Amino acid sequence: MAAVMRRALWMMMGLLACGGAQTPASQRQEPRPLDEVRFLELFAGVLGEHGLSGQQNRAVRVTGLDRDFEIDCAVAGKSIGVEYVSDADRVVLASTLPAPRPGQLRVLPATDPGNGQPFDVLILEDGDFRYDPNPEQSGGVGPTIQEVEGRLQRDLRDFLHAERQSGNL
């Protein structure tokens, strides 16, 4: 009798070990966009790799807007910058945002309100940089934060390379 109970106990333990802890769907966290603070840290790192520095909250004049718009970060001393578009930004920029084109960077043409010179603004949508906040619980259904950060850094490097090729850096 004790042997049967011991065998049943071992079988139950084996089944539990195979199944692992499952998180109910109601407790799983939805993918979330990389936050703007982390975006700015990553952009500063990419700029540093190229011997450049950033200037946060730089005003530019966007065609189609009745006012200047502050982009998240510009390259100090250059006429280029980046806007990491959040829901609030989408409300303001809605009609001026260039349509996404697969495989191409989205650049919003603007001007420097101080001197009227052209100013290129890379548009990055926060929704394009969503990650799975808890891949262990969800079973890895979405990209990890490391994958999203890597993709963001590649886009930023590609933008700087393109701007260097066009003579803006």
Q: How far apart are CA 55 and CA 129, in angstroms?
A: 22
Higher pLDDT, 12 or 41: 41
Give the Å distances, CA to CA, from 106 to 57, 80, 109, 159.
19, 13, 10, 9
pLDDT score of 20: 45
Q: What is the mean pLDDT of residues 141-169?
A: 94
Residue-wise pLDDT for 24-66, tens only, equals: 555 567 889 999 999 999 999 999 999 999 999 999 999 888 7
Q: How confident is the model at residue 137 (pLDDT cuts 50, 70, 90)?
A: confident
Q: What is the mean pLDDT of residues 103-123?
A: 93
**DSSP structural state of residue 26:** G
User: Could you tell me the pTM of the whole model?
Assistant: 0.80
pLDDT score of 82: 97
Give the Å distances, CA to CA, from 164 to 56, 94, 158, 159, 167.
21, 28, 10, 9, 5
Beta strands in 112-160 (DSSP E): 118-125, 130-131
- What's the half-sphere exposure (Cβ side, CA atoms, 13 Å) at 111? 9
For residue 85, which of 36, 146, 154 has the smallest C-alpha distance?
A: 36
pLDDT score of 4: 43
